[in-house]
Chain A
Amino acid sequence: MSTALIIEQLLNGLQFGVMLFLMAAGLTLIFGVMGLINLAHGSFYMIGAFACAAVAAATGSFWIGLAASLAAAAAAGTLVEVAVIRRLYDRDHLDQVLATFALILIFSEATRWLFGSFPLYLDIPPVLAGAVALPGGAHYQLYRLAIIGIGVLVAVGLYYLISRTRLGMRIRAGESDREMIAALGVDIGTLYTMVFALGAALAGLAGALVGALQSVQVGMGEPVLILAFVVIVIGGIGSIKGALVGAVLVGLTDTLGRFLLPKLFTVFLGPADGATTGAALASMLIYIVMALILAFRPKGLFPATA
């Protein structure tokens, strides 16, 4: 097992984690600030991927596609918030889960109707094609490095937005006492719409970025949504920092688990049984990690101070 391979797997884990962060950031803000469980967050991921693939195919430019993915997901988020989600803030979580589950079905069927059942493909932009040489003799896909870079930029930007700007103060104030911030003259309804649209845009960005690595198809958002929920539960609901740490933790654990566990069990159980046991355990690993973290930190790693 070479160092180059390990570095590559570490970076894969980091890239996966960053992508999960883009999903989890919106989810944790929406859950933390508005108290809303949004199962349809995975649909914004799908919308972003489809918008990027369709616009990139029509214009020939990945970058216009990327801009379109942000715009489409934010627009879908705004529409959904105003038309549906707004009515759900004061309802209990079961109603929210039912309504947003219905939204998943609606978005999936609408996408199937618009684009058909066959997956779309999105090419990596030429500027980011190819690989870079890393210290230790490893070569790594430039595009995946770019995803890591974008994720870090978004994390820094979000942290700044939440902790340093007036908008961020109002979001946090709304998190602790929504009625009071309204009584001070802040239009909390518009604020919620903006937060929701921002979360949707980030999910759309994640979908578009990943769309160039995988196929773009209906239902691509739901597996990621489940992982994003694991991330925000591990990180502490409502915390951007928690979402980042949780996402990187889940990304690394999952990727390295799938890589290392079969090898490890092969040593003890022989190649046939070892590989099966290792692979089975690897797919459970993040849930085991989540259970362990919750056993010791029931509110997650970075519980939002409220």
Chain B
Amino acid sequence: MTLLQVSGLESFYGASQALFGVDFSVGQSEVVALMGRNGMGKTTAINSVLGLIRPRGGGVRFIGRDIAGMQSYRIARLGIGLVPEGRRCFPNLTVRENLVAAARQGPWTLTRINSLFPRLEERQDQYAHSLSGGEQQMLAIGRALMTNPQLLILDEATEGLAPVIRQDIWAAIRRLKADGQSILVVDKTLAELLPVADRCFVLEKGRTVFSGKPDELTPELQDRYLGV
């Protein structure tokens, strides 16, 4: 079953057009990778899905509903949990408060988050601004999971983290996949991303230029669309 269906998406940043026709979809219990070099429109596409940017054209459907142009809190309540680029934890809230503030009923509880990320339990009464980058990333993931989303969106969840911490984050993503969580991942580390992804979409200059299975993304294609 298709959870999220994005077709022909067009968005603007102010007066300049950033997306010219982006297509991708995420199915139930599927991990989908959204790839592309910097500035090709990945974050813009995600922000357009969540209503943080109002799309000007194309369609966004979530569980069969047209969500393009809806207010972002309504979209989130339908079941999309965002782990944004740059983590954006609430610095003036404690770890536990960050997790609880926007939580909604469902299988994910504080106890389960604490078993997924034991470090968050150790730090539960600390303010988020006092956490390390990796801990903030775990908190941002935990915070999104606490809203019990049908679809989890991870935007650059391992960027700027130490290798050991990246491994922890990837391990958590693999655990979530094994639990059947649907995930849309934006990341640049192909070595970790491709094995976990069921399908890949590549964006270039605001358009989807490739879609397929990870093994169809040949070294030549990787070099052409993702190489630096």
Number of B interface residues in the complex (CB < 8 A): 26
Q: A172–B144 Cα gap in the complex (Å)?
A: 18
Let me know if A124 is at the binding interface, CB within 8 A: no
Question: Within A150-176, which residues are at the interface with B (CB < 8 Å)?
Answer: 166, 169-170, 172-173, 175-176
Interface flags for B47-60 (1: CB within 8 Å of A; 0: not) read 00010100000000
Q: Say whether B82 contacts A184, CB under 8 Å.
A: yes
User: Which A-chain residue is minimally distant from B81 (CB atoms)?
Assistant: A184
Q: Say whether A166 contacts B100, CB under 8 Å.
A: yes
Q: A305–B93 Cα gap in the complex (Å)?
A: 9
Let me know if A180 is at the binding interface, CB within 8 A: yes
Let me know if A185 is at the binding interface, CB within 8 A: yes
User: Which A-chain residue is minimally distant from B101 (CB atoms)?
Assistant: A169
Q: Say whether A185 contacts B77, CB under 8 Å.
A: yes
Question: Within A263-306, which residues are at the interface with B (CB < 8 Å)?
Answer: 304-306
Report chain B residues within 8 Å CB of A305. Answer: 91-92, 127, 129
Interface flags for B67-81 (1: CB within 8 Å of A; 0: not) read 000011100110001
A169-B97 contact given A182-B73, A184-B144, A187-B73, CB 8 Å threshold: yes
9 closest pairs, A vs B, by CB? Answer: A185-B76, A184-B102, A169-B101, A173-B90, A185-B77, A305-B92, A180-B88, A182-B73, A169-B97
- Looking at chain A's contact residues, is the secondary structure mostly helix, strand, loop, or mixed? helix
Listed in ascending order, the chain A residues whose CB lies under 8 Å from chain B are 166, 169-170, 172-173, 175-177, 179-188, 304-306
A185-B52 contact given A169-B97, A176-B92, CB 8 Å threshold: no
Report chain A residues within 8 Å CB of B207. Answer: none
Q: Say whether B90 contacts A176, CB under 8 Å.
A: yes
Q: A187–B129 Cα gap in the complex (Å)?
A: 24
List, sorted by A's number, 24 A–B pairs whose CB atoms are closer than 8 Å: A166-B100, A166-B101, A169-B93, A169-B100, A170-B102, A172-B93, A173-B98, A173-B101, A173-B102, A176-B90, A179-B52, A179-B72, A180-B84, A182-B76, A183-B76, A184-B76, A184-B81, A184-B82, A184-B101, A184-B143, A185-B73, A187-B73, A305-B91, A305-B127
Q: A121–B143 Cα gap in the complex (Å)?
A: 53
Let me know if B104 is at the binding interface, CB within 8 A: yes
Q: A187–B70 Cα gap in the complex (Å)?
A: 12
**Closest approach, in angstroms, between the C-beta of B14 and any C-beta of chain A?**
15
Report chain A residues within 8 Å CB of B52. Answer: 179, 183
**Closest approach, in angstroms, between the C-beta of A300 and any C-beta of chain B?**
16
Report chain B residues within 8 Å CB of A172. Answer: 90, 92-93, 97
Q: A203–B198 Cα gap in the complex (Å)?
A: 57
- Further pairs besides A181-B90, A188-B73: 7, Cβ < 8 Å: A166-B101, A176-B90, A176-B91, A183-B76, A186-B102, A304-B92, A305-B129
**B72, B81, B98, B129 — most chain A CB neighbours (10 Å):** B72
Let me know if B44 is at the binding interface, CB within 8 A: no
Listed in ascending order, the chain B residues whose CB lies under 8 Å from chain A are 50, 52, 71-73, 76-77, 81-82, 84, 88, 90-93, 97-98, 100-102, 104, 127, 129, 143-144, 147
**Closest approach, in angstroms, between the C-beta of A197 and any C-beta of chain B?**
19
Q: A37–B73 Cα gap in the complex (Å)?
A: 26
Report chain A residues within 8 Å CB of B92. Answer: 172, 175-176, 304-306
Q: A175–B73 Cα gap in the complex (Å)?
A: 16
Report chain A residues within 8 Å CB of B147. Answer: 184-185
**Closest approach, in angstroms, between the C-beta of B62 and any C-beta of chain A?**
13
User: Which A-chain residue is minimally distant from B102 (CB atoms)?
Assistant: A184
Q: Say whether B91 contacts A306, CB under 8 Å.
A: yes
Q: A184–B78 Cα gap in the complex (Å)?
A: 11
Q: Say whether B104 contacts A181, CB under 8 Å.
A: no
Q: A285–B102 Cα gap in the complex (Å)?
A: 45
Which one of B77, B90, B97, B100 contacts A180 once the chains associate, using CB atoms below 8 Å?
B90
**Closest approach, in angstroms, between the C-beta of A104 and any C-beta of chain B?**
32
Q: A183–B82 Cα gap in the complex (Å)?
A: 7
Which one of A166, A183, A304 contacts B72 once the chains associate, using CB atoms below 8 Å?
A183
Q: A188–B52 Cα gap in the complex (Å)?
A: 13
Report chain B residues within 8 Å CB of A170. Answer: 101-102
**B50, B73, B81, B100 — most chain A CB neighbours (10 Å):** B73
